[in-house]
Amino acid sequence: MALYKAEAVVLRSRSLGEADKIVTLFTYERGKVEAVARGVRRPRSRLLGVTQLFTHGRFLLYERKSLDTISQGEIVRSFLPLREDLLRMAHAAYVAELLDRTTELNDGHPRLFALLLMVMEMLATGPRLALTTRYFEVQLMQELGFRPHLDDCVRCGAQDASWFSVEAGGLVCGRCRGADATKLDHESLEVMRYMARAEPARLGVLRPSRRALQTLEDVLPKYCAARIGRWLHSMDFLLSLGAAETQGVER
């Protein structure tokens, strides 16, 4: 039984027995880890705060054959707005579920950890929630090897490709498009291309219209779902809130 330290963000948790929880952590060192937090459901547990959903913390864990055990933890950032504001929580829950469903246990992704921290910070403090979430989808797919093809028609190579096919994995031309293809206007396509190459700090220069955001909301969640083979319940909840950018400010 080895003891190890990990910096992590809490993706989800579920009850175990009368007082314990199984906590899913996304760590810098090991990627996704599942660990038991014993007694954490008791009001005075010293692990109660650090195992709250979306919390960024430093943990001390015992490595076991099945589930690891959290021994100690300290909060780095609580990301409290993500648990107090319904819309922020909905975006963060979708980001967390998407990352959880697309990664395997103990498969390290340091770049994804850095991306997750940046996105959680932007969702907790910024006004542009939908754009931030779309950015996470694009960057996550790229990191996992599913970058959408955005240069020309993925089927025939034609340069006049302006439809997006979830099935084909990118742009298709009018001649190659199928029933699943969505027409992309010039702005939507350029925003998607920019998000594919931009660092998080550069996202603030984008000012997409509500129409462009809606188009990307129609395309990117479906693209992610097709790559992982399932639609996420958290996306249904997010869509039910009608999250969109209004007059340049999202709520």
Look at the block and give the residue holding tokens 């922020």.
Answer: 88
Q: Which domain holds residue 206?
A: 81-250
Q: Do residues 119 and 241 share a domain?
A: yes
Work out the widest C-alpha separation in the chain, in whole angstroms: 64
Q: Do residues 98 and 27 share a domain?
A: no
Q: Do residues 35 and 142 share a domain?
A: no
State which of 44, 77, 110 marks the end of a domain: 77
Q: Which two tokens stand for residue 238?
A: 């997010």
Query: Residue 242's pLDDT is what?
Result: 65
Q: One-letter amino acid identity for 33? A: V
CB contact at 8 A, 42 and 20: no
User: Does the structure show a pLDDT above 90 at 247?
Assistant: no
What is the domain-level CATH number for residue 107? 1.20.1440.120
Q: Do residues 88 and 73 share a domain?
A: no
78-112 burial, b at 16+ Cβ within 10 Å, e below that, comes to: bbeebbebebbbbbbbbbbbbbeebbeeeeebeeb
What is the domain-level CATH number for residue 50? 2.40.50.140
* DSSP H or E run through 104: none
Distance CA 61, CA 73 (A): 9
State which of 61, 77, 93 marks the end of a domain: 77
Q: Do residues 156 and 61 share a domain?
A: no
Q: Do residues 112 and 70 share a domain?
A: no
pLDDT per residue over 54-113, tens digit each?
A: 999 999 999 988 899 999 999 999 999 999 999 999 999 999 999 999 999 999 999 999
How many other CB atoms are found less than 10 A from the CB of residue 177?
20
Q: Do residues 66 and 119 share a domain?
A: no
Q: Do residues 143 and 52 share a domain?
A: no
pLDDT per residue over 197-232, tens digit each?
A: 998 888 889 999 999 999 999 999 999 999 988 889
Query: Residue 179's pLDDT is what?
Result: 87
Q: Do residues 16 and 104 share a domain?
A: no
Q: Three-state SS for 158?
A: coil
Segment among 34-43, 108-117, 186-195, 202-211 with least mean pLDDT: 202-211
pLDDT per residue over 128-185, tens digit each?
A: 999 999 999 999 999 999 999 999 999 999 999 999 999 999 999 999 998 889 999 9
Q: Do residues 169 and 237 share a domain?
A: yes
State which of 42, 77, 112 marks the end of a domain: 77
Q: Do residues 115 and 233 share a domain?
A: yes
Q: How many domains does the chain have?
A: 2
SS (H, E, C) 197-208: HCCHHHHHHCCC
Q: One-letter amino acid identity for 192? A: M
Query: Residue 200's pLDDT is what?
Result: 84
The dihedral through the CA atoms of 56, 62, 68, 72 has a sign that is negative
Q: Do residues 119 and 17 share a domain?
A: no
User: Does the structure show a pLDDT above 90 at 249?
Assistant: no
Query: Residue 1's pLDDT is what?
Result: 64
pTM: predicted TM-score of the whole model, two decimal places? 0.92
